[in-house]
Structure 1
């Protein structure tokens, strides 16, 4: 079976996203002690080593084990499968949308892998500009998913603007 340029592009983005995420987590697990805080840019940007047993910002970490498996493993795997099928089948998607969806898929797979392999997801980036302008602790997979979503929103607004 010959892989089309489009399918190769999708595969490369997904694989690179997973690789960057997993390599960064290996480095963090090896060099940053659990709950240690390393200042990178003053009080504005720091590195941590936190194991998140839930989803976004730890939500769902206190769910019963069966519900956690359904909501944090089975459902995400199903959704990622549907999104991958959509990206591979819809030939009308522009390159930015393909990149965005592929980044979302790669980030999702990377975090699901962690939940299966380790029982939790390693988070390590923290940004705090002010007491109100700050993030939760996140990782490269989260960054890929968020970046993909932002790109999709921008592409969507551009399409609507061009229709008018």
Structure 2
């Protein structure tokens, strides 16, 4: 079976996204002190106090949401549901040949980031987060990882692509 350039593009984006995320998490787990409820943990300023590296293990989803759920609900909402959604999105981008390169890249980034975090939940029972941005109170994030960044970037790209398509349709 010969893969098309389009299929290779999808595979490469997904694999590179997963690889970058997993390598960064291995490095953080090995080299940055873990933050917990008793001790604030190690904070490594990368760009002053605006961009900080720290190590947090998250049993929930975005910003720890869902970490208080019972085990059955957590498995359903943080493992089963994401796997199903990622499968449907992958099926969609493989079947819909009309997607432009930016949309294809965005969806592939979302899939790669989603797979990387699901992998962590399956293997470790939690997700390693380590990046924090605080731009003087103007913009502040929770603690996140490269998979989260890939998913968010993919979503932002899809919004821009959607707006640009609507703009050209109305013109």
Same fold (TM over 0.5): yes
Q: How many pairs were matched up?
A: 164
Name which of 131, 135, 143 aligns with 2:149.
143
Paired with 2:53 and 2:96, the residues of 1 have a C-alpha distance of 39
| 1:147 partner SS | helix
What residue in structure 1 maps to residue 38 of structure 2?
A: none
1:60 maps onto 2:48 in alignment: no
What residue in structure 2 maps to residue 9 of structure 1?
A: 9
**What is the TM-score of this pair, normalised by structure 1?**
0.98
| 1:134 partner SS | coil
Name which of 66, 84, 101 aligns with 1:95.
101
Task: Map residues 18-37 of structure 1 onto 2, 5 A cutoff.
Answer: 18-35=18-35, 36-37=42-43
Change (3 A) 1:132 1:100: same
What residue in structure 1 maps to residue 131 of structure 2?
A: 125
Q: Deviations over 1:23-46 (max 9, x none)?
A: 000000011010221111111110
1:41 maps onto 2:13 in alignment: no
Structure 1 segments, 4+ long, off by >3 Å, are none
| Alignment gaps of 5+ in structure 2 | 36-41
